[in-house]
């Protein structure tokens, strides 16, 4: 996460109204002062360099490490990177009370200041992880029911967004990222919240703002000394308050669902629902049912995790389609012959699946994965130590371009993961020189492709994310 520059923050600040603009300039000056104070020590100089050039630093250290653990300092945390199968498995096997995914997420997102004041990650350990079953089982099982409606929404919304763009000499000039962000917000809103809320422009605006402001707020708060965090986070949360609007927009519908749940428990008739609000309520603790507010906090966490990564990954795929137009004909042929089956089952489209995976391999949203925050001192089998509050993680971006795992690793080969027998039947496609010896799917979790994490903590929503991306790109 700490891989963005200061200049985009300043640019963002200048687009805000006068009062928030002044606030951001104050923060900007304070951060520069913090940098000047911190760089008196060589180790701190390297830590601040990570903020500006994190992916390259990780890749360089990975190359030098030869499979052994290595450390990198960011301005806010020391990180121990591991890349061997054995060490990654050690991270996965460590008890949650020792190495915590939630602890790393809490540090990354600063939920006290970005999730309407609720420390979601602390409460999850106490109240269970019903959201995992919501995403892994209930949402996944309902993908075939969601796809037809999402397909109609995609075509309608994309045509509307294009119609608003400037056209010069018959060519439409389309800013892909903001358009795709709007589209993903609309479609994800339909999947998670149903049809009613997405009709409200104020809701969709706050849902979009919540994602963007969470990233910005959390990055700024993390870079200040801990004693300043409540002051800085509080001010940012006051002026950048889409999270409050988003929360309040969800209250009426969620309170209605709570009432329907109580009616069912009393034997009364209540409507049947099929969306994430309902599924979270069904998987919440039975002995102490969650309130409407508690359900909303869970939704806010799921919402953030789904919108940002989906949008960015799809945009990179669109860029790669433009850079490699030779793939368009075989992909369109696959869609012409197989899309209806995909929409009916949520499965299939192996050529498009491979193209998305190859794009994500070479342009991952983040350069690290398998993040764990040490809640207790932890040692790897080789003696490498991770102190309390420090991170253990894997250099997924560097692994993605390692010759140890990929033939011609720097080359874009859109069909490298497809079974050759499938390619031989695909119109306009040929078996590429740069391909894997074993075919695989986008949703597969493996040591050489850590986009989804690993082991028992692998992303439970990856099947939905895969189907979602295929639908939009198709």
What mean pLDDT, rounded, does the chain reach?
82
User: pLDDT confidence of 130, banded at 50, 70, 90?
Assistant: low
So what's the pLDDT on residue 11? 40
Residue 457 DSSP class:
G
Q: Cα dihedral angle (408, 409, 415, 416), rounded to 10 degrees?
A: 80
Query: In whole angstroms, how large is the CA radius of gyration of the chain?
Result: 23
pLDDT of 456 over the 70 cut: yes
Least confident of 131-135, 194-198, 254-258, 359-363: 131-135
Where is pLDDT greater, at 70 or 258? 70
Out of 33-47, 49-63, 349-363, 411-425, the most confident range is 349-363
pTM for the model: 0.85
pLDDT at residue 20 tops 90: no
Residue 98 phi, psi (nearest 5): -105, -55
In 3D space, the residue among 471, 459, 468, 351 whose CA is nearest the CA of residue 415 turns out to be: 351
Residue 383: C-alpha distances to residues 61, 377, 378 (Å): 19, 12, 9
For residue range 317-346, list pLDDT tens digits in order. Answer: 999 999 999 999 999 999 999 999 999 999
**CB–CB of 276/299 below 8 Å?**
yes
Q: Is 426 helix (H, G, I), strand (E, B) or coil?
A: coil
Measure the CA–CA gap between 17 and 6, rounded to whole angstroms.
19
What's the confidence (pLDDT) of residue 5?
37
SS3 content of the chain, % helix, strand, coil (to 5): 65, 5, 30
- Residues 197-250: tens digit of each pLDDT: 777 777 888 888 888 888 778 878 777 777 777 877 777 777 777 778 888 888
pLDDT digits (tens, 9 = 90+) for 235-285: 777 777 777 888 888 888 888 888 888 888 788 887 877 778 888 887 777
Domains contained in the chain, CATH given = 6-473 (1.10.630.10)
* Higher-scoring residue by pLDDT: 128, 365: 365
Q: Is the pLDDT score of 144 beyond 70?
A: yes
């Amino acid at each position: 996460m700490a891989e963005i520059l200061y200049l985009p923050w300043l640019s963002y600040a200048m687009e805000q109204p006068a009062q928030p603009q002044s606030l951001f300039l104050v923060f900007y000056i304070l951060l520069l002062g913090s940098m000047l104070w911190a760089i008196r020590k060589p180790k701190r100089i390297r830590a601040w360099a990570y903020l500006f050039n994190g992916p390259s630093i990780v890749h360089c250290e990975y190359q030098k490490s030869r499979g052994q653990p290595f450390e990198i300092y960011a301005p806010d945390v020391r990180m121990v990177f591991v890349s061997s199968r054995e060490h990654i498995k050690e991270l996965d096997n460590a008890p949650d009370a020792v190495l915590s995914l939630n602890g790393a997420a809490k540090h990354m997102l600063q939920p006290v200041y970005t999730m309407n004041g609720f420390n979601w990650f602390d409460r999850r350990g106490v109240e269970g992880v019903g959201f995992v079953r919501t995403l892994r089982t209930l949402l996944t099982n309902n993908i075939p029911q969601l796809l037809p409606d999402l397909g109609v929404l995609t075509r309608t919304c994309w045509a509307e967004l294009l119609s608003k763009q400037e056209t010069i000499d018959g060519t439409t000039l389309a800013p892909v990222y903001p358009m795709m962000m709007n589209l993903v917000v609309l479609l994800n809103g339909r999947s998670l919240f149903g049809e009613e809320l997405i009709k409200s422009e104020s809701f969709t605006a706050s849902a979009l703002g919540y994602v963007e402001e969470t990233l910005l707020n959390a990055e700024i708060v993390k870079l200040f000394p801990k004693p300043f965090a409540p002051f800085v986070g509080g001010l940012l949360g006051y002026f950048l308050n889409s999270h409050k609007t988003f929360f309040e927009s969800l209250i009426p519908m969620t309170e209605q669902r709570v009432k329907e749940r109580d009616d069912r428990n009393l034997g009364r008739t209540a409507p049947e629902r099929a969306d994430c609000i309902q599924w979270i309520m069904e998987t919440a603790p039975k002995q102490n049912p969650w309130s409407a507010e508690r359900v909303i906090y869970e939704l806010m966490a799921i919402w953030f995790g789904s919108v940002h990564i989906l949008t960015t990954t799809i945009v990179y795929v669109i860029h790669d389609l433009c850079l490699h137009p030779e793939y368009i004909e075989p992909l369109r042929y696959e869609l012409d012959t197989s899309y209806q089956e995909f929409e009916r089952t949520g499965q299939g489209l192996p050529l498009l699946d491979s193209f998305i995976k190859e794009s994500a391999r070479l342009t991952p949203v983040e350069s690290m994965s398998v993040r764990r925050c040490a809640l207790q001192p932890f040692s790897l089998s080789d003696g490498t130590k991770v102190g309390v509050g420090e991170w253990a993680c894997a250099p997924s971006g560097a692994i993605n371009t390692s010759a140890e795992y990929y033939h011609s690793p720097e080359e874009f080969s859109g069909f490298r993961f497809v079974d050759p027998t499938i390619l031989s039947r695909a119109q306009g496609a040929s078996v590429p020189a740069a391909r894997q010896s074993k075919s695989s799917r986008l949703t597969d979790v493996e040591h050489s492709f850590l986009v989804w994490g690993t082991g028992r903590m692998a992303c439970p929503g990856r099947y939905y994310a895969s189907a979602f991306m295929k639908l939009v790109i198709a």
